Structure formats: structure tokens, C-alpha cells
Amino acid sequence: MNDMLTSTQLVIAEALRTLGYGEEMIDLLKEPMRLLTVRIPVRMDDGKTRVFLGYRAQHNDAVGPTKGGVRFHPDVNEIEVKALSIWMTLKCGIADLPYGGGKGGIICDPRKMSFRELERLSRGYVRAISQIVGPNKDIPAPDVMTNSQIMAWMMDEYSRIREFDSPGFITGKPLVLGGSLGRESATARGVAIMIDEALNKKGIPLSNARVVIQGFGNAGSFLAKFMHDAGAKVIGISDVNAALYNEDGLDIESLLDRRDSFGTVTNLFRDTISNEELLQLDCDVLVPAAIENQITADNAEKIKAKIIVEAANGPTTLEGTRIITDRDILLVPDVLASAGGVIVSYFEWVQNNQGYYWSESEVETKLKDMMVRGFNQVYEVHTRRKVNMRLAAYMVGVRKAAEASRLRGWV
Ligand code: NAD
């Protein structure tokens, strides 16, 4: 995990230097401005109290309130939360949202907790961080192993503390509590839009494209459906256990029906390949949509895809990026490709502030506009400045926070 922050800082520094900023700006933006560590006592169902450790990082609020998810996971740690808050600044910068980046997490295993214990933990977290968050300060959202129910409890707790209804305090809420249509599938929809743009650059029609997706969870499964519906051939998918491959195209409808809520499906099949083999399949588009560090110095030479679109956070290492770029494979980096979730979260917040709700097609049209604009900006910097797509994305992403910090007179 240490690598994740260090490599982010290396690219942030390179991006800022290339943009002409000095060392003071790098010093400001290489770490979050604020990191709150909280201890949350929770009464468990057996009557005993357990104390959980949680974090909230706010990277930079020069542009506007900070924004980013809260993850519940046993591996949550300070370094990861810091790095993820920086990535949120980059995503918001590329999408041109009026936000800086934030991120939160609690060290816990929700799979081993009851519904009521999770509710008490969610409410306890909000009480612990309530001084530094709010609809105009820092707006949380779902992330790994948190969902719309947890957002509903958190919103309710914040509303009680503030003594008025505060739907704009958090996004990813259930529809009846002010959630937005299209939020659940927003990340995958954004990735699908990026695939279309990248295929255009390579002159390959989407309807002829052969697509491989690693991970069949929220991001991977919705994406498989969107690709299938658009006429592309999904020839490989995988989960944590194994991968499925059919060069004529997999039966996506049936796989979607049979997957469980954790995104596993390959255990129902005997004829499988490994995740490592999946990554090396001959295809037009490879989408890592599972976990970090999948394309590295060890396998980047063996990747046969023409395009890689990163739905997961951090699936390609810096050395992997260098090899992929040298081999002329078009890489659409995570901070651009997976921004659909935060963009529709922004739409949810805007709708909450207005008290006026949009149709799903309105959400989709606006999402497409923002994603395409982000892609064009990053691609233009990549070609004009002759830098790889990751550095180009960082340059576009960090520019707004740097400029806002300069204009406020902070640096
Ligand atoms: P998820 O938990 O719903 O699904 C994860 C999938 O990856 C599952 O199919 C799981 O079996 C598989 N997987 C887990 N470990 C694996 C391994 N070692 N090898 C291969 N497959 C493995 O998660 P998700 O929400 O779909 O997120 C996937 C990635 O996309 C993460 O990196 C996440 O940070 C990123 N992301 C998701 C969203 C979103 O809105 N869901 C937004 C931005 C980024």
C-alpha cells in the first residue's frame, strides 16, 4: 500500500513540474491537507463494546468541498486513505467538478457484522467526523463494501446532529431519500463511454470489438451488460477464483443471472482459465475492473490488447504503464476511466440542492458530455505534450486544484 501513495506522489510531482509549478505546490499537493483519525466505540449484539478505527482524509479544498467514498474493509489504513483522497482530486479535476478530493474508511469486516452492528458503526462514524464534514465542506459516498443503506443511516445521523434534513450531506443514497437515477451503474457507464472513445481513436467499431473484463462485481458486471447490449463481443470475464473464455463471445445474460452478490460466478464452471491467462488474451479492449497491481513489469510485455481501460483503481503499476505506452497500447487511466461514479454523485448533490430531480436519460446525457470532454482533454495533452496518458490525466486533473490554491494565495 505504501507504493500506492509513493507512486501517486511521483506522478503528481512530475505533472506539476511539467505544468510549470514549483516545489511549494508539490509540497502542498503531495499529501492531504487534513487527516482525521477517529476511534468509534460500538455496542455489539453480544452486549460488549468494540472500538473501531476510522479515517477521513481531505486532500485539497481550494476548488470547493471535498468529495469521496467511505470504505469498510479490514485492510483500510492511513496510507491508502491518503492516496485515494488524492485520486479523488484528480478525478474531480478531470471531470471539472466544483470539488476537491476526500476519502474515508473504517477498519472492519462488514461480512462478519450484523445489520444492527453496521448501523451503529455507520452512525458512530458520522458522529466522530461530523465537525469536518457537511454538504458544503466534505461529502461522503459509498465505496468498497458500503452501500445505499449505509449512506441512508449516515445521512439520518447527520440530519439529527444538525437538526434539519440534510440530503446533500452524502451521495449514493436510496432513491426515496434523494438518490439519483443512474447512480448504481454510473461507473460502468462511464467506462463504456471511455471504451467507445478509445476504440474511435484506433478506428475499431464498438460492434466489432472483442472485450475482456477482469472482475464481475459492480463495475465489471454492469460493464459486461453495456458492452453486450452495444453489440461488442465479451470474450472473457473473471472473478477472484478464475476466468471464463469463449472466443465466440460469452453468454453474458446467463452469467449476470447466475453471479452472486459478491461478483463470483466462475465456481459454477469446470472449464476455466486463470486470471493471469485472462489478462494475456488476444482482444481489442482489456478492462481491469477488480483490484490493484494487475499489469506490472512481469506481464506488461505479454498483454495482447490494443486498448486498456482501467475501471479498477490502480490496476497498472508505473513500470507497467511505461511498457504498455512503449508498445503503443492506448491506456485510459483510472482517474479518467472510473470517474463516472463521482460525476453522478455530483449530479445527486446538485439535485438535492435544487430539490428537483432528473430523468435517467438526462443523467446519462450529462454523464456522457462530461466523460467525453475529460477524455478529449487528456488525449489532447497526451498527443500535444508527448506524455503518456497517465501523466496527461494527472496534468489535467491536478491543474484545477493547483490553480485554485495559487489564486487563493495559499502558495
Ligand atoms: P466489487 O467488490 O463489486 O467486485 C470486485 C470483483 O473483482 C469481483 O468479481 C471479485 O470476485 C473480483 N476480484 C476480487 N479479487 C480479485 C483478484 N485477486 N483477482 C481477480 N478478480 C478479483 O467491486 P467493484 O465495485 O466492482 O470495484 C472494482 C474496482 O473498480 C475496484 O478497484 C474499485 O475501487 C473500482 N471502482 C469502482 C467503482 C464503483 O462505483 N463500483 C468506482 C470507481 C472505482
What local confidence, expressed as pLDDT, does residue 1 receive?
47
Picking from 114, 134, 166, the residue at the C-terminal end of a domain is: 166
What local confidence, expressed as pLDDT, does residue 209 receive?
97
Is residue 255 domain-resident? yes
Is residue 274 domain-resident? yes
**Residue 404 C-alpha to ligand 1 middle, in angstroms?**
33
- Per-residue pLDDT tens digits for 339-392: 999 999 999 999 999 999 999 999 999 999 999 999 999 999 999 999 999 999
Residue 106 structural domain: 2-166
Residue of minimum CA distance from atom 43 in ligand 1: 338
Residue 292 predicted with pLDDT over 80: yes
Q: 364 in helix, strand or coil?
A: helix
Q: Are residues 67 and 153 in the same domain?
A: yes
Contact 403, 344 (CB under 8 A): no
Residue 44 predicted with pLDDT over 60: yes
How many domains is the chain built from?
A: 2
Domain containing residue 228: CATH number = 3.40.50.720
Return the ligand 1 atom nearest residue 142 CA: 40
Given phi > 0 = left and psi -120 to 50 = alpha, else beta, which region is 342? alpha
- Per-residue pLDDT tens digits for 89-100: 999 999 999 999
Q: Are residues 58 and 87 in the same domain?
A: yes
Angle between helices 389-407 and 318-326 (to 10 degrees): 120
Tell me the best of 183, 338, 345 to mutate to test the pocket of ligand 1, counting ligand atoms within 8 Å of each CB and taking the most. 338
Domain containing residue 65: CATH number = 3.40.50.10860
Q: Are residues 118 and 233 in the same domain?
A: no
Is residue 72 domain-resident? yes
- Per-residue pLDDT tens digits for 193-205: 999 999 999 999 9
Q: Are residues 58 and 130 in the same domain?
A: yes
Residues catalogued as catalytic:
103
Q: What is the DSSP letter of 180?
A: P
**Residue 215 C-alpha to ligand 1 middle, in angstroms?**
6
What is the grid cell recorded at 84? Answer: 485515494
Picking from 275, 303, 328, the residue at the C-terminal end of a domain is: 328
Residue 271 predicted with pLDDT over 80: yes
Return the ligand 1 atom nearest residue 220 CA: 26
Return the ligand 1 atom nearest residue 187 CA: 40
Q: Are residues 220 and 141 in the same domain?
A: no
